[in-house]
Amino acid sequence: MIGKPMNAQSLSLLGRTLAVLCVMATPAAAELLTQKVLSAPLALAIAQTAYEACTQQGHHVSVTVVGSEGEALVAIRGDGSSPHTFENSQRKAYTARTFRAPSGEFAQRVKDNPTTGAVHLAGVIAAQGALPIKFGDAVIGAVGVSGAPGGDKDEACAKAGIDKVADQLK
């Protein structure tokens, strides 16, 4: 083929092949992601406020704040709280973060459909007492509380923690 002129069909095929190779060589919209991260001081303020809200009502609780990937950032096992409250607060927080909704909503979904497979996921628990922490519409973490007499009371303490820093989450 060396020395022979290319016909129109060969040139067209060569042009299309080169175009495909150029597209493949250029990353499509390759850019770094930007995301908000829950800082340690903010997580600590949420946890401490949630803890204090419950202890002021005489409840012996544990509180866990998790970050955007569900990792524990702050965990408090309150004085006089039962040993299981520490694990439950973490699992509630993880559940709220994972499903981007209050853990009580997941508990209701399980109640409505007990055969849902999500109930068997590691670290998830169908119990009220945790709320997602949002920056705008993005879920950047969650706070879980366990030990008050009822998930609604746990959730109220979690809400108090988030409310404390609400102005910094806008």
The pLDDT tens digits of the residues spanning 110-151 come to 999 999 999 899 999 999 999 999 999 999 999 999 999 999
Per the CB < 8 A criterion, the answer to whether 148 and 88 are in contact is no
What is the pLDDT, as a whole number, of residue 66? 98
What is the pLDDT, as a whole number, of residue 16? 67
Query: What's the rounded Cα separation, in Å, for the pair 142 and 95?
Result: 9
Radius of gyration of the chain (CA): 25
Paired tokens of 120: 């068997």
Q: Residue ranges per domain, the chain? A: 40-169
Q: How many other C-beta atoms are found inside a 10 Å radius of the C-beta of residue 147?
A: 26
The pLDDT tens digits of the residues spanning 60-114 come to 999 999 999 999 999 999 999 999 999 999 999 999 999 999 999 999 999 999 9
Query: What's the rounded Cα separation, in Å, for the pair 60 and 130?
Result: 16
CATH architecture of 40-169: 2-Layer Sandwich (3.30)
What is the pLDDT, as a whole number, of residue 70? 97
What is the pLDDT, as a whole number, of residue 29? 67
**34 pLDDT tier (thresholds 50, 70, 90):** confident
pTM of the full structure = 0.82
The pLDDT tens digits of the residues spanning 151-163 come to 999 999 999 999 9
